[in-house]
Structures are given as C-alpha cells and as structure tokens.
A and B are shown apart, each in its own frame.
Chain A
C-alpha cells in the first residue's frame, strides 16, 4: 500500500462511517448537554436553551447546523457528514503539503 493507499483506505473508512452515522447515531443528548438540561434547565431542554440563549455573546449561523441540510432529512444528514469528511481530507492534505514542503526546501 502506497502513500495514496493510506489516504484511500482512510477516506473509504471515514465515508462509510459518515454514511452510516445519521442512521446509527444516538439522538440522545451528549454528556455535556444532559448536564445542561439537568443542572441549569431543571430537567427541561427548552428552559436550558432559554437560559443559554440569553447569555449568547454572538449570533452565528453555520451553513449546515447539526450535520444537516435544511429540508433534506436523512439524505441531507448523510450529505452534510460526507461533505465534512471530504473537507477534512482536503484541509489536512493541503496543510500537510505546505508544512512538509517547507521542511524539504
């Protein structure tokens, strides 16, 4: 397996996980969110969100919030995570190339 083989094996593994994730991932809140709901929301997710909303220092709208594409349901979630995975490959390969090139020259 060559250098490209490592990238291909990694990409294939990551894309398989990306496609499965929307169907297999638990929709339960994560550990931190569960604590927010219990410790500051008194058991209510809405109440916790209200309190946090008042403390929000900035308003920022991400293009694909919560790994979804608006109005596209599950296929949108698959698309969002696959797009993120490809973006990660692109960014890390580009950064790696820049850094290693500097080392070589």
Chain B
C-alpha cells in the first residue's frame, strides 16, 4: 500500500508530512518515557522482522498481491500505538530512501496511513476485544481491521489527490485489503503474538494481556 511519488500533489503531501511529524514527535516522547532496556531489543527485532515481511508479497485473487503492515503487532507487543508510529516510520524511511518502495514527497502520507491509522486502529481494536474474545482472536481482528481501515483511508487520499474516483477506489482498495487482511495481517499478527507469548511472555506489554485495563 506504499504510495509513490506523483500520486499526491505536493501541497497535499506537505499536509500529510505535518500530520506525520506531530505523531513522530509524540512517538519519540513515548519512547523516551516508556521504553526501557528490555523494550529496545524488542523494537529492533520487530523493526527487522516487519521490514523483511513487508518484502514478502502474498498472492491474492484478481492478479493482485499484498503484504503485512505490522503496525497492529508492534502496538500490541510494545503496548502503545506510538510504538507502531515510531517503528513504521523507521521502516518507511529505509524503504523509501534505499529501495524506492514508497515515495519521498509522499512519505508523510505513508507514515500517517500505515503508522498512525494502522497503529491506532490496531491498538484500540485489540484492547477493546482482548477481554471478551481472548488474545488470539483479538489480535487477528485487530490486524485485519488495521489494514482494512488503512486501505480505505488511502483510497480517500487518492480521491482527494484526484488520482482515483471515490467509489471505485474505496470498493477495490477495501476488497483487496479485506483479503490481504485475513492471511497477510490477521493471521500473521495472531501467530506472531502467540509464538512470542509462548516463549517470552515477559516482553509483551502487560497492557496487552487480558484482564489488565488500558490507558493510552
């Protein structure tokens, strides 16, 4: 879902960059306040893993493919939507600058979509579901919802940019990512969280364990 240069006019790109910068500053404040010596290795492991898994496009019908974003997983494990903002910002900078995956002028829009929208939807949907349906189902739902809503936001941006018509943009972005969300985001988020809980439950934020109240 990486937007490339040329898809959003410069004026609009600047607005997305400004929104992104507000959240990046907030995410650095979160890191300074909340990150301890145990969370740094987890941040690094997630950053490397999410970068790698984003290079693995999964085929879906209609001659299309897609990959995981990882925002929900990062927010759940590190216990804050700002963790997803920080992590996805690092991933998107490296992808855009080194690999031309996502543009430079539009990087703010990609950070807003995958980091902010993906992270916040993933974090709050997980936390509103974890006590009623358990960690596995909640993380699957949060992963699915995070990529589906992000795709709809991306379609709206493409409409505002004059790139897509609104109706078709929403319909097809929604359809493709509803499918990618099942295998690519929901399943991998749930499996990864399960595995980490099995071997190192102590590195998963206590906020994300059912029965504990959540405060952003």
Contact = CB atoms under 8 A, between A and B. Distances in A.
Given A35-B169, A81-B55, A6 B6 contact: no
Interface string A10-50: 11011101101110111111111011101110000000000
B105 to A, nearest CB: 5
A62 B103 CA distance: 10
A45 to B, nearest CB: 11
Contacts of B44: 7, 10, 88-89, 92-93, 96
B101 A66 contact: yes
30 contacts: A3-B40, A6-B41, A10-B41, A10-B48, A13-B45, A14-B49, A15-B48, A17-B56, A21-B52, A35-B168, A39-B165, A62-B97, A62-B99, A63-B98, A65-B100, A66-B99, A80-B99, A84-B98, A85-B48, A87-B98, A92-B40, A92-B47, A92-B48, A92-B87, A96-B41, A99-B28, A100-B35, A103-B32, A103-B33, A103-B36
Interface of B: 1-7, 9-10, 13, 28, 31-33, 35-49, 51-53, 55-60, 62-67, 87, 90-91, 94-101, 103-105, 151, 154-155, 158, 163-165, 168-169, 172-173, 176-177, 180, 199-200, 203
A-B residue pairs, 8 tightest by C-beta: A10-B45, A96-B40, A31-B176, A62-B100, A26-B59, A26-B65, A14-B48, A17-B52
